[in-house]
A = this chain, B = another copy of it.
Amino acid sequence: MGGAINNPSRPIDGVVHTPLRRIVDERGMVMHHLNHLSPTFKGFEESYISKTYPGKLKAWKLHRKMTQNFCVPVGRMHFVLFDARDDSPTKGEINEFVLDDADQYALLCIPPGIWYGFECLGIETALIVNVSNVYYDPTEALKLDPFDASIPYSGWTNEKP
């Protein structure tokens, strides 16, 4: 489905996957996320956290205005993105990413206009921390069922249609 996970053969235009640093000591660690000089930072209007239980899936969602900057500091999450933008050079592409709190600790920037969904992998509740440039506004978000026929993806592992 569009190349290797975390290394798509055709990266969706505007989607950026960047490994992040973790500074570890005997008490725990500090995990980088985002700062005002980060290339994908588009302004701050809200920071929030999203927990997903093992075996659960949240899909599909699209934001018309919001740029998301996700990291997964606990657990492991599988992200699927679909580019449905008419004016995009990568229209129709699917990209997949797996982010976790260890070797795959990374920032995933999702620009507006991309359908995305995610599912928790493994037995630990997974956490997304997001910094967004648009304060929560239900009118700028669209939703579809995880198995809606308009998105050409059938690889979810936590649910079958």
How long is the Cα–Cα vector from A127 to B56 in the complex, in angstroms? 22
| A7, CB-defined interface residue at 8 Å | no
| A-side interface size class | 35 or more
Query: Does the CB pair B35–A52 fall under 8 Å?
Result: no
Contact with B along A93-120 (1 / 0, CB 8 A): 0000000000000000000000000001
Chain B residues contacting A131 (CB-CB under 8 Å) are 44, 47, 131
Q: Which of A11-19, A26-34, A80-88, A148-156 contacts the other chain? A: A26-34
Query: Does the CB pair A33–B47 fall under 8 Å?
Result: yes
Query: Does the CB pair A48–B31 fall under 8 Å?
Result: yes
How long is the Cα–Cα vector from A36 to B42 in the complex, in angstroms? 14
How long is the Cα–Cα vector from A53 to B156 in the complex, in angstroms? 33
Query: Does the CB pair B58–A28 fall under 8 Å?
Result: yes
A56 nearest CB across to chain B (Å): 4
Which of B26, B36, B71, B135 interacts with A35 by CB under 8 Å?
Answer: B135
15 pairs of residues in contact across A and B, judged by CB atoms under 8 Å: A27-B57, A28-B53, A28-B56, A28-B58, A30-B50, A31-B48, A31-B49, A31-B51, A33-B46, A33-B47, A33-B49, A35-B135, A36-B135, A37-B135, A51-B73
The 9 closest A-B pairs by CB, nearest first: A44-B44, A27-B56, A28-B51, A31-B49, A35-B46, A28-B52, A49-B73, A33-B47, A36-B45
